[in-house]
Amino acid sequence: MSRASFCVMPRTLMHEMPDEWQSKMAELLAEYDATFDRSALHDCKVMAVRKNGKFTSWPDWLLQYRRPDVAAINSIRAKPCDECGKLEHECPCIDEMISAVSAQR
């Protein structure tokens, strides 16, 4: 877990995850809902903010989960490693490259 106070994930992108991932997430969210009575907590509103801190609007494609813009979604999708074909977070190649550089020193 990060040190962020909240976790916000766009529904459009969550919907593009594999069905197995979506099922696990649904189960975890149901468990979360069953664990806490949040009725006394305030509602939350998510705002889009640029890197300079100024408010902006969300891109339309991110809000249209019923009609996803696959090209826009794919433009931000992690690309597989050229060496092993795995995505960055599961790619062993970076560890191998670091080991090789360390061994040369």
Specify the pTM. 0.70
Owning domain of residue 23: 11-68
The three-point CA angle 75-70-92 to 5° equals: 50
Q: Does 63 share its domain with 42?
A: yes
Q: Which helix (H) or strand (E) holds 70?
A: helix 70-76
pLDDT of 32 reads: 95
Paired tokens of 35 = 């664990």
Residues lower than pLDDT 70 in the chain = 1, 89, 94, 97-98, 101, 105
Residues 10, 16, 21, 25: is their CA dihedral positive or negative? positive
Q: Does 101 share its domain with 52?
A: no
Q: Does 63 share its domain with 84?
A: no
Per DSSP (E only), the strands in 1-105 are: 48-49, 55-56
Q: Does 61 share its domain with 96?
A: no
pLDDT of 29 reads: 95
pLDDT of 21 reads: 94
Q: Does 51 share its domain with 84?
A: no
pLDDT of 97 reads: 67
pLDDT of 80 reads: 81
Q: Does 16 share its domain with 64?
A: yes
C-beta separation of 22 from 14 below 8 A: yes
Q: Considering the domain boundaries, does residue 1 fall inside one?
A: no
pLDDT of 53 reads: 93
Paired tokens of 94 = 């970076």
Q: How many domains does the chain have?
A: 2
Q: Considering the domain boundaries, does residue 87 fall inside one?
A: yes
pLDDT of 15 reads: 93
Taking phi over 0 as left and psi of -120 to 50 as alpha, with beta for the rest, 62 belongs to alpha
Q: Does 43 share its domain with 20?
A: yes
Q: Does 63 share its domain with 36?
A: yes
Q: Considering the domain boundaries, does residue 33 fall inside one?
A: yes
Q: Does 15 share its domain with 51?
A: yes
